[in-house]
Amino acid sequence: MEWYRKAADLGDGDAMCDLGGIYQESQFTPQNYREALRWYERAAETGSGTPGPMLLGDMFERIVPDNIEAYKWYSIMCADTKTPDCLERDAIAKTLSPVEIVKAQGMASEWVKQFRK
């Protein structure tokens, strides 16, 4: 785990995702979803093609239930991968009201403006 942290501290997005997975799955450390979310978000912020946005969407969909956040992260994932048919986002959309979808789209747009310049 020490080497993952060193690589993550140097800006390695894949190491950040790995650390998130370690905390999510309680490998080598007690399970800590807050830490997993923190590392996945840091990975997403690197913009280096990491699966950070997908992992965040998955966590907000399944583990820390917040479908608006899940929709936001899946939307960012679709933008990052230029995927026009985003099954994860579209499935979450079915659970949201039109107002919630607009809110999630706005959150995704603001995040992209900040981190994908």
* Entry pTM: 0.89
Q: Is the dihedral of CA 27, 31, 37, 41 positive or negative?
A: negative
CB atoms < 10 A from the CB of 72, how many? 27
Top-confidence residue, 94 or 28: 94
Per-residue pLDDT, 85 = 77
pLDDT tens for each residue of 6-57:
999 999 999 999 999 999 999 889 999 999 999 999 999 988 777 889 999 9
Cβ distance 61 to 32 under 8 Å?
no
